[in-house]
Amino acid sequence: MKATGPETKEKVLLHLCCAPDGTVPWPDLLAEGYAVEGFFYGNNIHPEEEFRRRLDAARILASSLGCPLHVLSYDPQSWIETTRGLAREPEGGARCLLCFRLQLEAAGDLAGSLGFSLLATTLTISPHKDVTAVNAVGREVAARRGLVWLDRIWRKGGGFVRSVAESRRLALYRQKYCGCLYSLRGDEDREKKP
């Protein structure tokens, strides 16, 4: 599934929350002519086995596109310490906003250090994410580093449905919860309800 496009313009670091969510944004950016490299952040993912499964899927996607994938060393304890006190926050609340910020700050730091000019995320493909909040954080993070934020809402125009179909076509692992310990517990609670 190598995506091709016109001559590359600028370098984009694409923050990848998971491989399935990258199946539309990554090829689309390549088709637009950007040189795109992925960045996988997983400190929020629990347990470690889940992190490994998602990372493996991200590597498969990157390889299928012929693109590099940068991976932040797995350090879930730092995420737990940073989000301490927010365990009871509802899904989509203050804890999630902080998590978006942590992920995009890490992506922004890497983009700046590697000489990228553009920063983007796959988070806005999910129908469960507050895309206004994600893009606001992204713009702020990018601006503080002299980067340009690619303000995209990937779920528009059937993007999420396309991502589901494409991840199935590539046989990518599709997770059942956002990633953190608290969203896992929430998913388990929902399964227990009649």
18 is in an annotated binding site: yes
HEC secondary structure over 87-108:
CCCCCCCHHHHHHHHHHHHHHH
180 is in an annotated binding site: no
Question: What is d(CA 174, CA 55) in angstroms, rounded to the nearest whole number?
Answer: 12
Neighbours of 129 (CB within 10 A): 21
Closest CA to 40 of 53, 28, 30, 27: 53
Could you list the residues known to form a binding site for [4Fe-4S] cluster, using ranges: 17-18, 96, 99
Could you list the residues known to form a binding site, using ranges: 17-18, 96, 99
